[in-house]
Structure 1
Amino acid sequence: MDPVDHLLHLDRTLDELDPPRWPPPPADATRLVRTVHELRRVPLGAMGAADLRMLVTQRVALPYVLPLAVRLLIEEPLLDAYFYEGDLLLATVNAPPSAWTPLPELAARLRAVITRLPETEVAALPRGAAEELARFSAETGPLG
């Protein structure tokens, strides 16, 4: 079994894993708010890369969402989740440093993925991406 898999609860929803359950969104909620509320009721195993990117950027249930994102990024680091190549990676490295504290092995695996990225591919990412990747690697400590 992959060491990341023990962190996953693919048959359960965020409402089950990350209490309290969220009430329905207000009637005048934005599309983003409605979508995030809906995603909390989707089994984790049914979430796609775009769903994970949205939840990570909105900082929703990160202890459950980050392992899923890293699992995808290990396979395809520059995955185009919705907006552009590498958007899930950049969303993930921009999660608050405190979100990684209980997930040191996961952070180390993501750092390893980042160090293997060819410079030409990093250079093709949006402006500032190389600095964001370097910052993540420095904040989470040395490779171990």
Structure 2
Amino acid sequence: MDNKTERSKTIEQLEGIEWPDPPSDGTGLVKAIHNLRKRPINLLTAWEMSRLIGQDVGIPWLLPLALDILRDTAADQSLGGFYDDDLLTAVLTRRSPVWHSNPQWTADLKEIISLVEDLSPNIHENVQSFSLEADMRAKN
């Protein structure tokens, strides 16, 4: 999604589906997801994107943006900059159909992983799982 007009839209606008208000007894996460769907995606922080992606919300629009953020910050990480492990974890743990439907995303994420020099030990298992699945998809 390279169109800046698209990035100024909300997930609700892009999907064409307006969710009802969250239940009054809904969890904080449920309420947050409902609210974040109403914000223009170009105003979402990496942390907010990680919450949405982690709940499989707005994947077609948010995953490419998340990959851009992860790629851009990978270079800074080697210089002591902050690298968003939450966003990386949310992206890495998406189900296989997401990656199968867009092989370029898989290639992009593999490249990003190779750029990160000091990967948090908490993420190694997710990286290994993603890599194994990606290799299996490539063989089929």
CA distance in 2, matches of 1:111, 1:7: 26
Name the residue aligned to 2:51.
Answer: 54
- 2:97 maps to a residue whose letter is S
- 1:64 maps to a residue whose letter is W
CA distance in 2, matches of 1:16, 1:139: 32
Deviation readout 1:85-124 (Å, 9 max, x if unpaired)? x221111110111112232212211111112222xx12xx
Residue-pair matches, total: 130
CA distance in 2, matches of 1:75, 1:37: 28
Name the residue aligned to 2:62.
Answer: 65
Name the residue aligned to 2:105.
Answer: 106
Distance verdict in 2 for CA 1:137–1:43, change over 3 Å: same
- 1:109 maps to a residue whose letter is D
Q: Runs of 5+ in structure 1 lacking a partner? A: none
Distance verdict in 2 for CA 1:100–1:36, change over 3 Å: same
Deviation readout 1:44-76 (Å, 9 max, x if unpaired)? 111110110100111112111111111100111
Name the residue aligned to 1:116.
Answer: 115
Q: Runs of 5+ in structure 2 lacking a partner? A: none
Name the residue aligned to 2:33.
Answer: 36
TM-score (normalised: structure 1): 0.79
TM-score (normalised: structure 2): 0.81
**Alpha carbons 1:8, 1:64 under 8 Å: kept:** no
CA distance in 1, matches of 2:4, 2:90: 20
CA distance in 1, matches of 2:28, 2:17: 22
Name the residue aligned to 1:10.
Answer: 7
Larger relative helix fraction: 2
| Runs of 4 or more consecutive aligned structure 1 residues displaced over 6 Å after TM superposition | none
